[in-house]
Amino acid sequence: AGTTYPIDREYSAELLGFDAPCANSLDAVSDRDFAIEFSAAASILMMHLSRMSEELIIWSSAQFGFITLSDSFCTGSSIMPQKKNPDVPELVRGKSGRVFGHLMGLLTLMKSQPLAYNKDNQEDKEPLFDTVDNLKGCLKVFADMVPEITCNTDAMRQAALKGFATATDLADYLVHKGIPFRDAHEVVGKAVALCVERGIDLADLSLNELRAFNEAITEDVFEYLTLEGSVDARDHTGGTAPAQVRKAIARARGALA
């Protein structure tokens, strides 16, 4: 409710290291917005770590084999000697649920309280401190784990070749040749159908076979049907072209610095 003593609140705030005094004395003690906002930010961060963990788990599986996690962040199976379990990503993925739960707990703690301070608020400490501890731990272990990841580029390349990944590039190629996208879409669909029937990729078709679908196709089409050509073609801010990826890395490192 304030005080009857002639205190200088601005000076008190300065001595205590705050930016400024709270504008309302009831508000200063009646909410836990700072804890809820931190927990919300932590939940968003943990959600992203969980999504990345999910990819690392899938990519490191025998079915994908895109990456290899360092043994320091894995354990062996208790029953299958050949198996390597991605324990750290799995634990981080699990910790996300714990942090989400703390956010919901804090929101539920506050939702029915009248003004101003209520003893309920002492229950904010455990979820807040546990969120801090788990968030710091997950970030630390990720910072240690990610540099130790080995990428299996051959497996990645073979996976990228599946599913006619350059079909859209062929459609874009035709559009650049003046073909309406609707017509280009139909042309590519027929070309893919032929490839499915013969068990080959678009890049395996001969020029004459491709021209049978549309005469606008010329020899330069094969530059668009390679994985490298597909990636290089997205040469804009945020795109997949190697030069753009290098720029993005430089921007990220600059922001961190």
pLDDT score, position 2: 83
Query: Could you tell me the sign of the dihedral formed by the alpha carbons of 130, 98, 88, 75, in that order?
Result: positive
The contacts of residue 14 (CB under 8 Å, 6+ apart) are: none
Residues of each domain in the chain carrying CATH 1.10.40.30? 158-256
| Alpha-carbon 247 to chain mean position | 19
CATH 2.60.60.20 fits 31-152, yes or no: no
HSE toward the beta carbon, residue 221, CA cutoff 13 A: 28
Taking the C-alpha atoms of residue 203 and residue 198, their distance in angstroms, rounded to an integer, is: 13
pLDDT score, position 115: 86
pLDDT score, position 214: 96
pLDDT score, position 26: 86
What class is the 158-256 domain? mainly alpha
Residues of each domain in the chain carrying CATH 1.20.200.10? 31-152
pLDDT score, position 79: 78
Query: Cis link prior to 116 (omega < 30° from 0)?
Result: yes
pLDDT score, position 135: 98
pLDDT score, position 78: 74
pLDDT score, position 116: 86
CA distances from 123 to 27, 102, 112, 117, 131 (A): 18, 11, 14, 12, 13
- Which pLDDT tens digits describe the chain residue by residue (257 residues)? 788 999 999 999 999 999 999 998 888 888 899 999 999 999 999 999 999 999 999 999 999 999 999 999 998 877 776 778 999 999 999 999 999 999 999 999 999 999 888 999 999 999 999 999 999 999 999 999 999 999 999 999 999 989 999 999 999 999 999 999 999 999 999 999 999 999 999 999 999 999 999 999 999 999 999 999 999 999 999 999 999 999 999 999 999 99
